[in-house]
Amino acid sequence: MSKQTTEQPSLPDLLRSEEGLSGAFDELVERYGERLYWHIRRIVVSHEDAEDALQEAFVTAYISVREFRGSSEGSLIAWLYKVATTSAIKALKRRRRWSLLPLDSLRGELLATYEQELAPDADEIQVRLQRAVLSLPLKQRLVFNMRYYDELPFERIAAITGDSLSTLKTNYHYAVRKVRERVSVIEIDE
């Protein structure tokens, strides 16, 4: 006798079905919530802003899940990162005092927020790394975070940002070089 296997519908398929949407969305939040939180947190720095942007991202994803056209888990992840990145950038835009200033003008404020939220026993190397990353222009910081921390392939980052592979690779190259320069500087008290 041969065994019959019933293949479970994929998470993207369940998200598009009326009967599976609620349970599938709960699974989606469970599976990717923490990962997306840290992605957003590295952009906005503040824990409160990250929680708000994550909630906004999931509300947006829930409302627009029917517009998601991908069929694979990878395309779902890229779509979720795109929604989360958009929510994080909106949170940054809300922080700007004057709307005409570029988002990169927030670097000092983000670094100050990072310094305020530092634990007293924070690892010095990690602190230096994060300070260096926060000094990057936003585009370079986004690519660096997604590639270094989230370990996303450039193709997936391209799907998230809408940038070409060559642009992403160039931004990542410059980001890595700047981070290395800033982290390797040894401060000696005399």
Q: How many CB atoms lie within 10 A of CB 144?
A: 21
Q: Is 6 part of any domain?
A: no
Phi then psi for residue 2, to 5 deg, are: -100, 145
Q: Is 84 part of any domain?
A: yes
Q: Please report, for residues 47, 82, 84, 152, the alpha-carbon distance to residue 40 in angstroms, rounded to integers and kept in the order given.
A: 9, 11, 7, 15
Q: Is 2 part of any domain?
A: no
Range of the domain at 28: 11-184
Q: Is 60 part of any domain?
A: yes
Q: Is 73 part of any domain?
A: yes
Separation of alpha carbons 87 and 84, rounded Å:
5
Q: Is 31 part of any domain?
A: yes
CATH number assigned to the domain comprising residue 27: 1.10.1740.10
Structure pTM? 0.79
Q: Is 5 part of any domain?
A: no
Q: What is the pLDDT along the chain (190 residues), one digit of tens a residue?
A: 444 444 555 666 666 666 656 677 788 888 899 999 999 999 999 999 999 999 999 999 888 877 777 767 778 889 999 999 999 999 988 876 655 556 666 677 777 777 777 777 777 778 788 889 988 999 999 999 999 999 999 999 999 999 999 999 999 999 999 999 988 765 544 4
Instruction: Count the domains in the chain.
Output: 1
